[in-house]
Structure 1
């Protein structure tokens, strides 16, 4: 796959991710309207997050690290790796099924681990009921990743990124049904004592149904890609020892990550009760954290994940053939193109973050908007390092090295967890979750710096001058655009007040001004990365124009 094809594949994935994320914001906005940010909302969000967290712990990170490099290497076999894929899928699906059954039975215990000890018994009971409906998602999250990574390894990237669209559509339908049945609450949500069993079935059941649909829709895509499957048992003699070693270190890294995440959920759910008691001026708690993380992940998912997913396959092939120059070139390309998007995204949120949140989440007014915006802003400062670290990790995996990322992950988790605990004990209740976001930024910076140092030992020079020059241009252009956007927002609010339409106007005009200034300044400075990012879109538009002509 040449660079032009790679960028086109990234564009297809980005389009799917963008559609899914837009629907995800619609879903999050409806969920916020249906539940607000109170204790019942935290109960659902904790329960619905546990299957994803456990899936990542038990399979997700392992599958992402192992499957693509292993399948690309197995493709050199006479059967194109078909028997290897059959045996790997059979083993993985079996393990996922057993894990799902065991974890669903352990729902009450898991809620106790993830939730605040300050919750009342009926809140724990509600969260447990949610979890019983949500935990079967583990199996289907795993199936989605298995099938998607097989498609990615064979060069079919689109279905994996478009499948979550179906998940969001099903979830949106379920939340709308809940709003129709239960109505919308005040800013503190439906009281736990008034929650009805039918509401639990509608909300949690539709969430799980969406994940099931997301997984099963990939089966026709496998057939279209010419990939068949039949169960085969037995692993000996198929080169899975290396895969097992990589999986073991990856599993250990994800264990460390999830231990840190437990600290996050404990601190964030505790913060909600403290902030409510203290009558703070903006929202706090775990629901605020989840919505903030959703916003934080949008630019990362659109550009970094889409590009790195395609790069990972190419880097794995290069690494298997010991072509270090090609790996180094892909690393440089990935850092520069993702930086182009993450720098301007961070600048946009720091400039007009409250307006953006208010536009997306109109329910709850400034009370909720400020809470979500402050936390997201604290995270956004570390967005560049977060996306870079995602790419660094894939470089190690391309060399079938999961040991080094494990030790980096331990340092990152200790930094983040320590920052979370300091926030809980040192900050006022309203600012605790903002402290979680800031601690996340510090941990991302530490992880990226450590990765750079270790990758230099493996790859030698990392094209540092070229990357540094590109980032200086990005930062200068983003700073200029951010100042214009912030100034527009200030003038609009000073003249029109804090109505929702004012925030919409500030977000649209400020964001548009920022992007315009960013583009013009980068053009003046001469930025080849801009052409790399825009070329697939321009070619597609040119092709359509030719068809019309």
Structure 2
């Protein structure tokens, strides 16, 4: 576990910087455009290229491309150099064409993800989408460069590069606040306002992509266009990736259902629609991105090498260590989000054109997402077990089950719940779907590798939950006291988070260390060693 811990620590530092600046970016944008019509239009336009990227290449990066690049580096006489060059050439051509086509089809794509938008709101979303959609190419090239870096055990750059994107977007949001008189009004937003938001968003991804390409060059990769598809392994990739595309398509269908329902809820109650869901989801992803993604990224190449060498015992040990390490931090983070969600949201979003009540609503949605943090993280870890075997079929079936549960419960929430609680119901549906999905995925993965050390993992996670309860209790007491003392304002939220969140995590570390939870002891030892230097 020490190798995994060291690699995870390197990536976690970059991811933390990325997520913190991402927090600031989100706060600045929310202050600039709010969560009403303009905020919803921007968030739909911003999300579309991410969806298309996942459909085109994002889904196959970790499931197909990383294991194939690892094999090429091990078995090809040139160490996989030509293979990587052909792969990069193919990706540039595919993503370039996709970016052009998507810009031309922007009105149709926006209509697909919105609920009968008309007038200024629809036109703003289409204009923003046309400015933002070209980033598909840069996003994909940067992601492929990051994947190749990971196969070379170069983890820092992919985690630090998003910081540059966030900084660009922070500047864009601040400039909008200064120069635009439209505020959060979609009707008052001028073409110049929309161009600033749209072009600025794409510029951030361009800078991020350039940073990754430069890092890949420094790692020894030399790009030479190779247009022949022979040697790319399109046959094998196609057979393997077909199920991955099915997986991504199924997941994006689920996202489409959620987006349609959330935008419909936003049309009924201002501030309680797609933007509230999107912002809460971004905050929910912070602990997962900082903790779990770092470990997952380090795990996959190692498990792929173990599978290639026929060492299933090493796969089991790598997975069990990863789950325990991730959950040692994810469990207290999830409980604290469930308690402190409103304070987090008010501190980040309670500024500019965002009202405190709308910020509190985002926090309420975030509290429900906090329940999903552990099952979602375990589900993502389990998928990497299948991907290390080159098995993309099983994740596709698991995704189908996930989406079926999520879509059904989301539709029930939309039809049954009062308008203001619909988005909360969508978050609850998401949580239940990953709880059931993680259970099914565990059973299938356990059969594949001959057991996942389930009793030991379950025992460790139970102890972590018990140890985290005092921290959650302390945070809850601080939240109640802060609300009675001053209500939820920006300043009181800062105090609540510093006292409840900071002291809560400190209490967790102390109790966990005394309870001899080895994963927490390893983290404490690593930090102490760094400080001691």
TM-score category by the smaller chain? over 0.9
Secondary structure of 2:187's counterpart equals helix
In the other structure, the counterpart of 1:20 is 18
In the other structure, the counterpart of 2:226 is 232
TM-score when normalising by structure 2:
0.97
What is the distance in 2 between the residues matched to 1:533 and 1:94? 43
Q: Verify the 8 A CA contact 2:142 2:213 in the aligned structure 1.
A: no
What is the distance in 1 between the residues matched to 2:325 and 2:57? 29
Q: Given the alignment of the two structures, is residue 304 of structure 1 paired with residue 303 of structure 2, yes or no? A: no
TM-score when normalising by structure 1:
0.94
In the other structure, the counterpart of 2:323 is 335
* 1:406–1:497 distance in 2 versus 1, CA, 3 Å: closer
What is the distance in 1 between the residues matched to 2:437 and 2:206? 34
Paired residues for 1:73-222 under 5 Å: 73-76=71-74, 77-117=76-116, 119-183=117-181, 185=183, 189-190=184-185, 192-222=186-216
Cα distance, 1:391 vs. partner? 0.7
What is the distance in 2 between the residues matched to 1:389 and 1:260? 16
Secondary structure of 1:128's counterpart equals helix
Paired residues for 1:462-481 under 5 Å: 462-481=452-471
* 1:124–1:457 distance in 2 versus 1, CA, 3 Å: same
Q: Deviations over 1:73-103 (max 9, x none)?
A: 1112221111111112111221111111111
Secondary structure of 1:227's counterpart equals coil
The number of residues matched between the two structures is 530
Q: Verify the 8 A CA contact 2:343 2:360 in the aligned structure 1.
A: no
The equivalent position to 1:454 in structure 2, one of 444, 462, 478, is 444
Q: Given the alignment of the two structures, is residue 71 of structure 1 paired with residue 61 of structure 2, yes or no? A: no
Q: Which moved more, 1:217-226 or 1:249-258?
A: 217-226
The equivalent position to 1:518 in structure 2, one of 480, 505, 508, is 508
The equivalent position to 1:411 in structure 2, one of 389, 401, 404, is 401
Cα distance, 1:534 vs. partner? 3.6
What is the distance in 1 between the residues matched to 2:163 and 2:439? 35
Q: Deviations over 1:419-473 (max 9, x none)?
A: 2211111111111100110011011111111101101211122111221121111
Secondary structure of 2:361's counterpart equals helix
What is the distance in 2 between the residues matched to 1:31 and 1:475? 35
Structure 1 segments, 4+ long, off by >6 Å, are: none
In the other structure, the counterpart of 1:420 is 410
What is the distance in 2 between the residues matched to 1:496 and 1:236? 67
What is the distance in 2 between the residues matched to 1:319 and 1:498? 52
The equivalent position to 1:499 in structure 2, one of 489, 510, 518, is 489
The equivalent position to 2:386 in structure 1, one of 391, 396, 409, is 396
Q: Which moved more, 1:526-535 or 1:390-399?
A: 526-535
Secondary structure of 2:229's counterpart equals coil
In the other structure, the counterpart of 2:375 is 385
What is the distance in 1 between the residues matched to 2:480 and 2:174? 35
Secondary structure of 1:300's counterpart equals helix
In the other structure, the counterpart of 2:425 is 435
Cα distance, 1:122 vs. partner? 2.4
What is the distance in 1 between the residues matched to 2:182 and 2:325? 42
Q: Verify the 8 A CA contact 1:34 1:183 in the aligned structure 2.
A: no
* 1:270–1:521 distance in 2 versus 1, CA, 3 Å: same
What is the distance in 2 between the residues matched to 1:394 and 1:333? 14
Q: Structure 1 unaligned segments of length 5 or more: list them.
A: 277-282, 545-549
Q: Deviations over 1:366-389 (max 9, x none)?
A: 302221111111111011010011
Q: Verify the 8 A CA contact 1:72 1:153 in the aligned structure 2.
A: yes
In the other structure, the counterpart of 2:301 is 313
The equivalent position to 1:374 in structure 2, one of 341, 364, 383, is 364
What is the distance in 2 between the residues matched to 1:310 and 1:521? 28
Secondary structure of 2:269's counterpart equals helix
What is the distance in 2 between the residues matched to 1:157 and 1:368? 38
Q: Which moved more, 1:238-247 or 1:450-459?
A: 238-247
What is the distance in 2 between the residues matched to 1:498 and 1:166? 32
Q: Verify the 8 A CA contact 1:477 1:517 in the aligned structure 2.
A: no
What is the distance in 1 between the residues matched to 2:181 and 2:498? 30
Q: Given the alignment of the two structures, is residue 252 of structure 1 paired with residue 246 of structure 2, yes or no? A: yes
Paired residues for 1:509-548 under 5 Å: 509-542=499-532, 544=533
In the other structure, the counterpart of 1:263 is 257
Cα distance, 1:535 vs. partner? 3.9
* 1:134–1:237 distance in 2 versus 1, CA, 3 Å: closer
